[in-house]
Chain A
Amino acid sequence: MTDLTRRDLLGLGIGLAGSALLPAPGAAQQKPATGTAGTPRRGGSLIVLVQNDWTVLDPVFGGPPNGMEMIYDRWIRWEKDPKTGQWGPRPQMVAEWDLRAGTEVVLKLQRGIKFHDGTPWDAAAAKWNLDRMIFDPASRMRAYFGSVDTSRENAAELERLKQSAAQTFDYASKAVEVFDSYTVKLHLRAPNAPILSVLSPVVNYSYPVSPTAYRKLGKAAFNRSPVGAGPFRFVEWKSGSHVLLRRNPDYWQMGADDKPLPYLDEIRYRLVIDDSVRFLELRSGTAHFTELIQAKDAPTAKSDPQLVYLESQDSANAYRLTFDAANAASPFVREPALRLAFLHALDREAMARILGLGAGASLRYLLPKGSFAYDDSVPSHGHDRARAQTLVKQAVAANPSLAGPDGRVAVTLSVPERPVDKAVAEMIKQMADNVGFDVRIDALERAAMTSKVWGEKGQYHAAIMRNPVVAGDPDSQWSLFFHSKGFANVTHLREAAWDGLIDTARATTDTAKRKALYRQMAQRAYDQAWFGYLWQQNWNWVHARKVKNFVEPVADRWIFTEVWLE
């Protein structure tokens, strides 16, 4: 399966019960904790190496993060509680929130914040940003606001927006209401438990931008000259080369020395596509930070006294297996037992050990361990070669047309044209061939893979996909992959039962109820066996030892606000 970019599929995590209520007022104003990192030093230029080129710098229209999280500030932070180990929302540009009304989300804004062009952060700016996220036809956020109550909107105006190639955005919705100067209300059709995570960096498109700048510059120009409220101001973007940011002297948060953050003078994000070259740059000292070095380089990074290697247990790239429910000719559709056989043939521990090189773990379920709905009492398709062989034999005996002249069931495994994915495919082939399948590996480049697997009509038998996962709200994972409107529903399952379960779980804030519903989903997924879990490569970050106070972020949302250089 196509590597759905990291930003697309990060779990919408939320520590649900606590997050529905108001957090402590003024929490966002607290001084940052430096822990054992030492005394902050001001100044310096941080060189960050990125591997994905920039296409947009306006977050609502997509693109890899790569600096956007520093140009723009966040509605809500997403951080790990060191005591509980759970990830959840923390106040940032939104100081307090209230979800207790169910279909009404009340957001009280942090005061004293300004965008880089001086535009105040207030309810008007917040409303404009929410309206743009929800109603701009090209907004990547629309899919995440499906529960917004649009019944009172001006349909003609929305249609006009859709048809015009507008360079600005000027629609004022009824769904987003300005309550007072620093309070907005978002009206929903139904309660939506994960709504706060949508406003966090877990979803990469949600950073607020300056409405003044957007209106003045227009869509295209704003994309090249973004204006946010973040700790760093945009300076320069050279296509295919770098993005340069300089500190925002008027940032609202204070450092440990009672002066405004950030500590750094500037950040230069440099594009270096090749994994090996990025790592070499770090080792040579010409750069300070990167992420996702190859597993084979991890031992070197760990042993290098000039480098610090961080590995996450909560963020990972998960490798999964899907079957196409819409392909009537597929042996996996004609005989469900073959799906079970295929899944039981796979030794996930071996995959994690051999391919992860010490930075991998086997997967049994859709949800990662840090999720509140993770439940290991649900059965999983473990490695059982004997059972797999029996299932194949029985299936072929009952329906000889499933097998070829050699008695083996011929299937195609579609895989992205990437080294690790192909290695996964080779291992799967070997394991599946041993139980009676004849697997043909079909390695496809990105566009071909996307069309084949994501296309409207199913065209594949089985496919490998790699997606980022973060411990958090289960809704994101289940709705993305199993809801009929989920954009990652590559099994092409369109079942009312699935939609019902997912919508019900999303609409309640009762944690126990949600957990029970997600257990039902996990059991259903196991019974239907359209989706398989293989192994994950834990997310990693590597930085120079002189970089201080870098805290594990949500995958690739690097936060350097409180980082300094020694």
Chain B
Amino acid sequence: MATYVAHRLVQIVPVLLLVTMISFALMFVLPGDPALLILGDQVADREAYETLRTRLQLDRPLPLQYAAWLGKAVRGDLGTSTRDDSPVAGGIAERLPVTLELSALALLFAVSLALPAGIVSAVRPNSRVDVCCSVLSLGGAAVPHFWLGILLIYALGVATRLLPISGYVPFREDPLGNLTHMMMPATALGLGIAAILMRQVRSSLLEALGEDYVVTARAKGLSTAVVIARHALRNALIPVVTVLGLQVGRLFGGAVITETIFSLPGLGRWAVDSILWRDFSVVQAVCLVMALGVLLSNLAADLAYAWIDPRIRYRA
């Protein structure tokens, strides 16, 4: 297993390389000159424009620019932001924990909601509870999370003043404050995922509950709870874990809008700002980090299969 994991980690490298190449190329395909954006009211100063382009190495051929960036990146130097000259690595260190926390809480919320709802729906198919859960899950999947965010802000922030509307408090400064600030954004981001997960849990569990071994278990006199918990659920989890792994990418994408609405200083919002400002260094670094996150979560999902089903064993 360790060899398998090591091989998978090594395979991540060429994928990351490809991601950085594509993101680099795409930034230059986009129309817009970052030097013009940065110059602002010096834009009429041709000399300042040329000096800035030279400083940013925009006058060099693309392959050379990419090679220069890559050469520094492998040494841990992700460059500086063209917008404010701050080190990109420092910016990532500041913002990544916020996005990770938001994603983790959203995932936790999604799983906490989806598992029980999916189980109940599967155990009582076509009942009122099942129909209700299904309708809610369809609604959850259909509602855009930015709209849901505004709705939650109004309901919980303005009308009832139960939760703070926006902003972020670091956990180490004020744990309770941190959690109250993250509740609404995590709910807005996690609800869509919960909806998809719930449907998958229901469908997988329904299938598992129809298997012969479950009939046998019931025939032996085991209670429904034991049948589900010890036998059926574990077998139903593999497709659920697959879906969960695929949602990580959606989490990062959804975090962009959620962070904007709730004013969270995370990676997603920084990435969008950087794209709009053509801040190449930041965009490259964020793409790298997010790609790494998705790849690692896929690896975690694969490893989870082996944990869930002892029959699955990986070899290098």
Central interface residue in B30, B46, B85, B166, by most chain A CB within 10 Å: B166
Residues of B within 8 A of A487 (CB): 40-45
Q: Mark interface residues in A284-300 (1 if CB within 8 Å of B CB, else 0).
A: 11100000000000000
Residue pairs across A and B with Cβ atoms less than 8 A apart, 8 shown, are: A143-B44, A220-B85, A240-B269, A271-B263, A277-B166, A284-B165, A455-B33, A486-B44
A274 lies within 8 A of B157 (CB): no
CB proximity to B under 8 Å, residues A226-274? 238-242, 270-274
Partner of B165, one of A4, A277, A486: A277
Distance of A466 Cα from B168 Cα, bound (Å)? 32
Distance of A242 Cα from B31 Cα, bound (Å)? 32
Shortest Cβ distance from A30 into chain B, in angstroms? 34
Distance of A314 Cα from B147 Cα, bound (Å)? 36
A142 lies within 8 A of B42 (CB): yes
Shortest Cβ distance from A206 into chain B, in angstroms? 13
Also in contact, A140 and B42, with CB within 8 A (given A273-B263, A447-B277, A450-B37): yes
Closest to A285 in B: B161
B293 close to chain A: CB less than 8 A: no
Closest to A280 in B: B158
B164 close to chain A: CB less than 8 A: yes
B31 lies within 8 A of A452 (CB): yes
Also in contact, A447 and B41, with CB within 8 A (given A55-B83, A241-B168, A273-B263): no
B263 lies within 8 A of A272 (CB): yes
Partner of B158, one of A220, A284, A489: A284
A447 lies within 8 A of B33 (CB): yes
B239 close to chain A: CB less than 8 A: no
Residues of A within 8 A of B91 (CB): 239
B265 lies within 8 A of A447 (CB): no
Residues of B within 8 A of A239 (CB): 86, 91, 94-95, 265
Residues of A within 8 A of B85 (CB): 220, 223
Instruction: Enumerate chain B interface residues (CB-CB to A < 8 A).
Output: 30-34, 36-37, 40-46, 48, 51, 55, 83-86, 91, 94-95, 150, 153-154, 157-158, 161, 164-168, 260-263, 265-266, 269-270, 273, 276-278
Distance of A319 Cα from B48 Cα, bound (Å)? 28
Closest to B263 in A: A272
CB proximity to B under 8 Å, residues A41-100? 53, 55-56, 62-63
Residues of A within 8 A of B33 (CB): 447, 450-451, 455
Closest to B276 in A: A446
Distance of A448 Cα from B32 Cα, bound (Å)? 4
Residues of B within 8 A of A451 (CB): 31-33, 36
Closest to B81 in A: A55
Distance of A486 Cα from B45 Cα, bound (Å)? 9
Residues of B within 8 A of A55 (CB): 83-84
Partner of A56, one of B36, B51, B84: B84
Shortest Cβ distance from B172 into chain A, in angstroms? 13
A270 lies within 8 A of B154 (CB): no
A370 close to chain B: CB less than 8 A: no
A165 lies within 8 A of B41 (CB): no
Distance of A485 Cα from B45 Cα, bound (Å)? 8
Partner of B32, one of A4, A53, A56, A447: A447
A280 lies within 8 A of B36 (CB): no
Closest to B157 in A: A284
Distance of A3 Cα from B150 Cα, bound (Å)? 26
Distance of A1 Cα from B30 Cα, bound (Å)? 18
B150 lies within 8 A of A276 (CB): yes
A8 close to chain B: CB less than 8 A: yes
Bin the interface of chain A by size: 35 or more
Residues of B within 8 A of A452 (CB): 31
Given contacts A140-B42, A142-B42, A452-B31, 5 further A-B contacts (CB under 8 A): A239-B94, A270-B166, A447-B34, A451-B32, A456-B46
A102 close to chain B: CB less than 8 A: no
Distance of A226 Cα from B94 Cα, bound (Å)? 20
Shortest Cβ distance from A168 into chain B, in angstroms? 15
Closest to A284 in B: B158
Distance of A231 Cα from B95 Cα, bound (Å)? 31
Closest to B150 in A: A276
Shortest Cβ distance from B271 into chain A, in angstroms? 11
A114 close to chain B: CB less than 8 A: no
A137 close to chain B: CB less than 8 A: yes
Also in contact, A143 and B45, with CB within 8 A (given A270-B167, A286-B165, A446-B37): yes
Distance of A330 Cα from B82 Cα, bound (Å)? 34
Shortest Cβ distance from B144 into chain A, in angstroms? 14
A283 lies within 8 A of B31 (CB): no
Also in contact, A143 and B36, with CB within 8 A (given A273-B263, A277-B261, A284-B161): no
B273 lies within 8 A of A53 (CB): yes
Shortest Cβ distance from A222 into chain B, in angstroms? 12
Shortest Cβ distance from A198 into chain B, in angstroms? 12
Residues of B within 8 A of A271 (CB): 263, 265
A153 close to chain B: CB less than 8 A: no
B260 lies within 8 A of A273 (CB): yes
Residues of B within 8 A of A270 (CB): 166-167, 263
Also in contact, A280 and B31, with CB within 8 A (given A447-B276, A489-B44): no
Distance of A421 Cα from B298 Cα, bound (Å)? 43
Closest to A56 in B: B84
Residues of A within 8 A of B44 (CB): 143, 485-487, 489
A31 close to chain B: CB less than 8 A: no
Residues of A within 8 A of B157 (CB): 280, 284, 286
Q: Mark interface residues in A131-154 (1 if CB within 8 Å of B CB, else 0).
A: 000000100101100000000000
Distance of A281 Cα from B154 Cα, bound (Å)? 10
Q: Mark interface residues in A424-461 (1 if CB within 8 Å of B CB, else 0).
A: 00000000000000000000111110111011100000
Distance of A277 Cα from B94 Cα, bound (Å)? 24
Distance of A162 Cα from B51 Cα, bound (Å)? 9
Distance of A446 Cα from B154 Cα, bound (Å)? 30
Residues of B within 8 A of A283 (CB): 158
Central interface residue in A5, A447, A487, by most chain B CB within 10 Å: A447
Closest to A57 in B: B84
Residues of B within 8 A of A272 (CB): 166-167, 263
Shortest Cβ distance from A481 into chain B, in angstroms? 11
Central interface residue in B83, B85, B164, by most chain A CB within 10 Å: B85
Distance of A103 Cα from B231 Cα, bound (Å)? 92
Distance of A10 Cα from B91 Cα, bound (Å)? 32
Residues of A within 8 A of B32 (CB): 445-448, 450-451
Q: Mark interface residues in A477-498 (1 if CB within 8 Å of B CB, else 0).
A: 0000000011111000000000
Those 10 A-B pairs whose CB atoms lie nearest each other, nearest first: A447-B32, A240-B265, A448-B31, A55-B84, A241-B265, A487-B44, A284-B158, A272-B263, A487-B41, A8-B41
Also in contact, A137 and B51, with CB within 8 A (given A240-B269, A448-B31): yes
Distance of A387 Cα from B261 Cα, bound (Å)? 47
Residues of B within 8 A of A223 (CB): 84-85
Residues of A within 8 A of B45 (CB): 142-143, 487
B153 lies within 8 A of A140 (CB): no
Shortest Cβ distance from B257 into chain A, in angstroms? 10
Distance of A8 Cα from B40 Cα, bound (Å)? 8
Distance of A444 Cα from B32 Cα, bound (Å)? 10
Residues of B within 8 A of A9 (CB): 41
Residues of A within 8 A of B51 (CB): 137, 162
Distance of A240 Cα from B166 Cα, bound (Å)? 13
Shortest Cβ distance from B270 into chain A, in angstroms? 6
Shortest Cβ distance from A447 into chain B, in angstroms? 3
Residues of A within 8 A of B265 (CB): 238-241, 271
Residues of B within 8 A of A281 (CB): 165-166
Shortest Cβ distance from A359 into chain B, in angstroms? 22
Closest to B36 in A: A450
B263 lies within 8 A of A447 (CB): no
Distance of A77 Cα from B43 Cα, bound (Å)? 28
Residues of B within 8 A of A273 (CB): 260, 263, 269
Residues of A within 8 A of B84 (CB): 55-56, 63, 223
